[in-house]
Amino acid sequence: MALYLLLFQGYPLVQELYLSFTSTALLTPDQHVFVGLQNYIDLVTQEDFRQVLLITAIYTVVCVVAAIALGLGAALLLDAPFRGRGLARALVTIPWAAPPVAVALIFVWIYNGQYGIFNHLLGALGGSARLESWLDSPALALPAVLLTTIWQIFPFAAVVILAALQGVSSELREAAVIDGAHRLSVFRAVVWPSIQPSVALLALFLSIWSLRRFDLIWLMTQGGPIGSTNTLVIELYRRAFVYRDLGQGAAVGMVGLSIALLITVVYFRHMQRAGHGKTVARRAPGERQR
């Protein structure tokens, strides 16, 4: 395991770190010019890059919060007994299982100003029908990409939270109901403390995946229009393979890696303070099936 991590994780990481301190062209990757911190200084002083960080933060936070909120609501509904529950649990996973390429193509058509159904639905509901494509509007492109992303990833959150709900003691729930607690009190006193470690771990995974999501955004907008959906990974690809500057691309990648590491450190410190570290390590989400 140590050899694997050293060869396939450590060596590429060190190579990228070194590359971020050089001026390296894509067409001549073997010819490095050491420039120290100049690539990072250029990034910090560029207003466009600060805008990229802001869009990345908005995209990540909205994706994580909305996916967990919708996933929690769906999981609570699917945890309740009703006829056809098994089929409903299977159907809710369809968006998550769909390939990002297919999802991107479908939603590009949905958001089209002339042929898409989104504008027709808004017009039918009494809203003003827009003739422009949502993905061509700097004000609407990011919300449109966010809606698409949340639609695709919230089933994963629902499945993870549903698995965590299976481990909540039914005896504790029944005892709380017998004591006169209503549904909200039962959720706050019994259910939430049990599923909170799983939700926190889910938030960590969704945060990192949102930071590194490339395919869906690139296929829908390629970071445009006017950079309104330009996240860190899109900027990395653009600088490395469009502008052919591997040094700048590596610096952007190291910034993204630093943010992901910071989020991970915050997660583990939060879990240590909450006393869930041992619980998370001992029991994976959904380990106990009811």
Tens digits of residue pLDDT in 18-28: 999 999 998 88
* pLDDT tens digits, one per residue of 125-174: 766 656 678 898 899 999 999 999 999 999 999 999 999 998 888 888 88
Report the distance separating Cα 213 and Cα 120, nearest Å.
Answer: 30
Buried b (16+ CB within 10 A) or exposed e, 175-194: ebeeeebeeeebbeebbeeb
User: pLDDT per residue over 203-241, tens digit each?
Assistant: 999 999 999 999 999 999 999 898 899 999 999 999 999
Between these two residues, 285 and 51, which has the higher pLDDT value? 51
Q: What is the DSSP string of 76-102?
A: HHHHS--TTHHHHHHHTTHHHHS-HHH
Q: What is the mean pLDDT of the chain?
A: 87
Confidence (pLDDT) at 256: 94
Return the pLDDT at 257: 94
Give pLDDT, residue 285: 44
For residue 130, the model assigns a pLDDT of 60
pLDDT at 182 over 90: no
Which residue has better confidence, 33 or 181? 33
Going by pLDDT thresholds of 50, 70 and 90, the confidence category of residue 123 is confident
Amino acid at 266: V
The pLDDT of 1-17, averaged and rounded, is: 83
In the structure, how many helices (H) and strands (E) does the chain have?
16, 2
Per the model's pLDDT, the better-predicted residue between 169 and 50 turns out to be 50
Model pLDDT, residue 29? 84
Contact 66, 217 (CB under 8 A): no
Residue 184: per-residue pLDDT: 85
State how far the Cα of 223 lies from the Cα of 41, in Å rounded to an integer.
23
Q: Is this model's pTM higher than 0.85 or not? A: yes
Residues in CB range of 233: below 8 A, 6 or more apart: 211, 212, 213, 214, 217, 256
53-70 pLDDT per residue, tens = 999 999 999 999 999 999
How would you write 50-83 as a 3-class SS string? HHHHHHHHHHHHHHHHHHHHHHHHHHHHHHCCCC
**CA separation for the pair 62, 142 (Å, rounded):** 11
| CB 77 within 8 Å of CB 158 | no
pLDDT score for 129: 56
